């Protein structure tokens, strides 16, 4: 029974990674963006992160790039990767200090760090 469950989980993981690799090799950036946002909105943060990271250099210096960077930080935060999220929130704040939305990351950085420190034995 356990071997069957392990095999099924491994198969799902393998197919998921394969789909992401095919997506990253695609030349259609609009499709990649749509898939990344769809994955994020459906709560599949772990699957959204590599696609967003792939798109960031392509949209650097645009409003879409700003939104993608914030979404990347949010994905890490919602995936309980608090130190990585704090790093990206800080970078977002530094890069886009003129945006009114940049105040929210300022509040999440201390939370992310404190939450991570509580997990240390």
- Kindly state the helix (H) or strand (E) to which residue 66 belongs, with its residue range: helix 63-78
∠23-85-105 over CA atoms, to 5°?
A: 115
Going by C-alpha positions, the residue among 83, 80, 85, 91 that lies closest to residue 43 is 80
Distance CA 68, CA 110 (A): 22
Query: What is the pLDDT tens value at each position of the chain, 121 positions in all?
Result: 555 544 444 444 434 444 666 656 666 778 889 889 999 999 999 999 999 999 999 998 888 899 999 999 999 989 988 888 888 888 888 887 776 665 565 566 666 666 666 555 5
What domains does the chain contain, in order, with CATH numbers? 27-118 (1.25.40.10)
Q: pTM of the entire structure?
A: 0.70
Q: How far is it, in rounded angstroms, from Cα 39 to Cα 104? A: 22
CA angle 69, 86, 79 (to 5 degrees): 75
């Amino acid at each position: 029974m356990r071997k069957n469950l392990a095999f099924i989980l491994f198969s799902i993981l393998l197919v998921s990674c394969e789909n992401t690799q095919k997506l990253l090799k695609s030349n259609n950036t609009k499709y990649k963006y749509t898939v990344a946002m769809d994955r994020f909105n459906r709560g599949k943060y772990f699957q959204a992160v590599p696609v967003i990271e792939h798109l960031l250099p392509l949209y650097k210096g645009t409003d879409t790039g700003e939104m993608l960077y914030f979404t990347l930080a949010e994905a890490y935060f919602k995936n309980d990767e608090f130190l990585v999220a704090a790093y990206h929130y800080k970078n977002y704040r530094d890069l886009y200090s003129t945006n009114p939305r940049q105040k929210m990351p300022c509040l999440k950085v201390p939370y992310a760090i404190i939450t991570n420190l509580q997990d240390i034995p």
